[in-house]
Amino acid sequence: MLSKFPLNHEYKIMAESYEEEEYLNATISHPNDEEKNIVISTYGKELTLSIWKHHEHHDSFEDDDHENEFIELSNYIDDIINDKVFFAVGFRGEEIAFGAASDDIKDLLDDKVDKIEIKTWSGRQDKTIKNKS
């Protein structure tokens, strides 16, 4: 898929194995913050995108729509790198209560947690919101 629909950003592909299953990881390195590296994994016969404390599944390889799903994932990565996607982790005390991503920061606000950390690719919109107890 990467040869047919190359990502718009520089990436490195590494072969990995886990429990005797081989898979590939494509990594787009963040220039300043390793936690914000974008990793696309094919482990488990699906495409999983990971960034910071967040991961999401994009294709289960069970249908014949791989090309469209890969194009959508590539466009989503462009949105991440262009700060159009916010990532949030909500905490109750020190425990993670939720993780989510959205193109609208308002979708990530939750007054039922003590603290919400919000991150974007560039870091220009990173913030920590502490809710009043």
Residue in 81, 84, 110 with CA at minimum distance from that of residue 96: 110
Mark whether 71 and 102 lie in a shared domain: no
Instruction: Note whether 72 and 34 are same-domain residues.
Output: yes
The answer to whether residue 108 is domain-embedded is yes
Helix (H, G, I), strand (E, B) or coil at 35: helix
Do 41 and 66 belong together in one domain? Answer: yes
Q: 65-69, 96-100, 115-119, 122-126: which has the minimum mean pLDDT?
A: 65-69
Position 6 in a domain: no
Residue 20 lies in a domain: yes
Q: What is the mean pLDDT of the chain?
A: 89
Instruction: Assess whether 106 and 54 both reside in one domain.
Output: no
> Does 67 lie in the same domain as 19?
yes
Q: 27 is written with which tokens?
A: 């990594």
Domain ranges, residue 101: 86-130
Percentage of residues of the chain with pLDDT beyond 70: 90
Residue 42 binned pLDDT confidence (cut-offs 50, 70, 90): confident
Is 2 part of a structural domain of the chain? Answer: no
With a cut of 80, say whether residue 5 has pLDDT above it. Answer: no
Strand-pair category, 54-59 with 86-92: unpaired
Residue 56 within a domain: yes
The total domain count for the chain is 2
